[in-house]
Amino acid sequence: MNKSVVHKTNYTRTKSPAEEEQAAMHMAAKLSSQAAESMALADGGSTHIVRPDTASDDDVQENNLRPQVLSEFLGQSAIKKNLSVFINAARDRGEALDHLFLMGPPGLGKTTLAQITAHELGADFKVTSAPALDKPKDLAGILSTITPRTVFFIDEIHRLKPAIEEMLYIAMEDFELDWVIGQGAAARTVRIPVPHFTLVGATTKAGMVSSPLISRFGIVQRFSYYTNEELALIIKRSAAILNVQVKEDAALAMAACCRGTPRVANRILRRMRDFAQVEGGNIITAEIVKDGLKRLDIDSLGLERYDREILLSIIHNFSGGPVGAETLAISIGEGQDTLEDYYEPYLIQCGLLQRTPKGRVVTEKAYTHLGLTPRRGNTNEDQRLLF
């Protein structure tokens, strides 16, 4: 019987020509999709610089700008104070920190704070993302090799597959892995112990994380957007690391158009450093920032050209609204999901756009920002296409 098992495990099935052709077509389609995404990101030069949810080529330099200890982490003072207490207590007891759940918009420092947590605890740091965990054995492979008190970081944890999530429940509570050995009538369950560890889960969509998973986190922290003053401090700290001088008014000017996000602040700082190096020595002044943002087509609120086109489309084509999301998406040549999930949130946060039961409406603040006069007495709003 043992020989048959060995023979079975050593047997490698050869793919048929049809399967190989299908795999090749799948790979070609995947590469084509990636190439299309890269071309879309490259189109327009400065597009997506102020969008924290979109990756940029020079974001690889972000690791050099990340703070290493909690005292260097600027902003999020309430989170820092609480987390400092929890970390010091766990370190003094020689225990693993309770599981930590971080939620908030992209680019606010969730990954950085996870790295700082591991550094402050003096523990190992392992990082992965939920899409990378394809099968339960992937999670088992990571947890079976960790050391005691390791900080295990899972980014975009709301995208975990159900089978992996259920395995994670037992690992978080009992620090064991539930593994099935054998098949059919001979199958049996084995509990494999793992060292006590700290799971740090981060998500930009807390509403998509299941309640059973959230309830297993002992520490839950929500990130908020940074103020302009906090972003100015972050910009000056990053400038010192990059060996470039920044004037106080220039730092505040850059902070105002960063959408409350440090990731965007560091991107804009690197672009202003380029302008300063070529045109103004090694000092970033308010004049260089003003000229640089104009050349990048970014205004004082951090709006890009396409954001302004959405507002102008509502104003000029639909008399300021209301207009339905589908109609607006068609008018600007974008999909409705892209409009609702990608462009509208920041416009609403800035108070430039409203979502009403009848459709999208541009606010008076948007008219003022665009230098236009608000229209009064819209007599055709009942005839608007609302879908």
3-state secondary structure of 222: strand
Give the model's pLDDT for residue 56: 53
Distance between CA atoms of residues 269 and 286, nearest Å: 12
Q: Which class for 347: exposed (0-12), middle (13-18), buried (19 or more C-beta within 10 A)?
A: buried
Distance between CA atoms of residues 331 and 312, nearest Å: 11
Give the model's pLDDT for residue 30: 46
Distance between CA atoms of residues 217 and 378, nearest Å: 51
Distance between CA atoms of residues 346 and 264, nearest Å: 14
pTM of the model: 0.74
Residue 155 annotated among the catalytic residues of the structure: yes
The one catalytic residue in 66, 150, 155, 363 is 155
Give the model's pLDDT for residue 4: 39
DSSP 8-state secondary structure symbol assigned to residue 323: B
Pick out the chain residues at pLDDT < 50. 1-15, 21, 24-26, 28-46, 378-387
Give the model's pLDDT for residue 62: 62
Give the model's pLDDT for residue 329: 86
Taking the CA atoms of residue 188, residue 192, residue 198 and residue 199 in that order, the dihedral angle to the nearest 10 degrees is -30
Packing angle, helices 286-295 and 262-279, rounded to 10: 100
Residue 363 annotated among the catalytic residues of the structure: no
DSSP 8-state secondary structure symbol assigned to residue 183: S
The one catalytic residue in 236, 263, 267, 273 is 263
Give the model's pLDDT for residue 20: 53
The one catalytic residue in 66, 110, 271, 360 is 110
Phi, psi of 203 (to 5 degrees): -150, 150
Length of the chain: 387
Tokens for 283, please give them: 């000092």
Q: State the amino acid at position 367 in one-letter form.
A: Y
Give the model's pLDDT for residue 34: 45
Residue 285 annotated among the catalytic residues of the structure: no
Distance between CA atoms of residues 275 and 270, nearest Å: 9
Residue 189 annotated among the catalytic residues of the structure: no
* Closest C-alpha to 44, from 305, 282, 226, 228: 305
Residue 204 annotated among the catalytic residues of the structure: yes
The one catalytic residue in 112, 117, 198, 204 is 204
Whether 344 and 335 have beta carbons less than 8 Å apart is answered as no
